[in-house]
Every structure is written in C-alpha cells, then in structure tokens.
Structure 1
Amino acid sequence: MRKNKVLFGALTLVATMTLAPLGGVMAEELRVPVGTQADRNQESFPKTGMSRSSVQATWGEPDEIRGPVGEPPISQWHYQDFVVYFEGDRVLHTVLKR
C-alpha cells in the first residue's frame, strides 16, 4: 500500500512538472471595484444628501418605511430594487437589493 502511495505521488509530481510552463504556474488577478459590480445604472438611484421630498418626488412612495431608530434618527425606505437610509431628512446611503 505504501509503495502505491509513493508511486502515485511521484507520478503526480512528474506530471505536474511536465505540464507546467517553465516559469512555473502563473495566474492573473482581476480586481473589480464593488461599486461597479452591479449591472444596474447607478445614476437611477437616490444620492447621498438628497432630501426625503426629492426622493419621494422622483421614486414615489416606498413599499415600506422602517424607523426612525437611534440617535441620530436613522430610517429606511424600501423600494423594489433598493433601500434608502435617511439620517433625519437627508439620504445617508442607498443600497441595491440582489
């Protein structure tokens, strides 16, 4: 049994060295910024600093409103494709839904 393991290990090593390029195995790293990973147009969502009235005028009534919670008061407006977080009357952040 031990001979089989040694033989298999040796054959694996030979096959790896034979099939690998002379300089060793190379890989390319691809970095995609998180903000560009969504297929959706980022311009069609509420921006930081917008007022509640501007968001409501542009995107209509939200499907659901949660909050306010905490100090400063943070509330959430849930739309079909995104959630808008408000601090007081201003957009703090918009998060796209999957």
Structure 2
Amino acid sequence: MKAALIFLVFTLASANLLAETVRIPIGQQGEHSQATPQTGDSKAQVLEKYGDPTQQSGPVGDPAIYRWDYQDFVVYFEDDRVIHAVIKFEPKVASDS
C-alpha cells in the first residue's frame, strides 16, 4: 500500500512537470481579413451585403436563434439581429516535401 502511494505521488509530480499551458491572445490566434456581419445588423442588411447563405437553420429556442452558413463564416441571429459571426477555420496541413 505504501509503495503504491509513493508511486502515485511521483507519477502526479512528474505529470505536473511535463504539463504546460500556452496562452495566445485572441488577436494573435490567426490571421484573417474576412469581413463578417457586425453585431446588431439586420437580416436584410446581411442579405444585401453578403447575399444568400448556403444554408439556414432555426428558429431554435426562446428567444428565437437562427444560423446562416456562408462559405467562410457563420452568422447567428436573435430574431432579426446579428448576435455573433464566426469565421470558419480551415487548418493548414503541412506538406511532406
């Protein structure tokens, strides 16, 4: 029992030595120049500026939440107003050559 406890203590201690937290500020988490709808824009404004979405879903919940998918971003609406726009992330694959 004592040996198991000692083993557990050393295992946990060594695990803490190997753990590392990397913090990257939001503004540095990726490069993008993609324009997206602004919070508060209406659905009509989004349609006028970005055209028809490739897919729409909703309403879900109360208040009604809608999701519009575009090629490079997703827009979330509460009723008729944008509450958030998210750029789709396409991971870069390293080449072997």
Same fold (TM over 0.5): yes
Give the match's secondary structure for 2:45: helix
Aligned length: 69
Aligned position for 2:88: 97
Aligned position for 2:32: 40
Classify 1:81/1:72 alpha carbon distance in 2 versus 1 (closer, same or farther; 3 Å): same
Q: TM-score, normalised by structure 2?
A: 0.64
Deviation of residue 38 (structure 1)? 2.7
C-alpha root-mean-square deviation of aligned residues, in Å? 1.8
Classify 1:35/1:88 alpha carbon distance in 2 versus 1 (closer, same or farther; 3 Å): farther
Structure 2 residue 79 is the aligned partner of structure 1 residue 88: yes
Deviation of residue 72 (structure 1)? 0.1
Classify 1:85/1:31 alpha carbon distance in 2 versus 1 (closer, same or farther; 3 Å): same
Aligned position for 2:6: none
> Which residues of structure 2 form unaligned runs of 5+?
1-20, 90-97
> Which residues of structure 1 form unaligned runs of 5+?
1-28
Give the match's secondary structure for 2:47: helix
User: What are the residue-to-residue correspondences of 1:1-98 with 2, within 5 Å?
Assistant: 31-41=23-33, 44-98=35-89
| Aligned equivalents of 2:65, 2:43: Cα separation in 1 | 12
**Structure 1 letter corresponding to 2:87:** L
| Aligned equivalents of 1:31, 1:85: Cα separation in 2 | 27
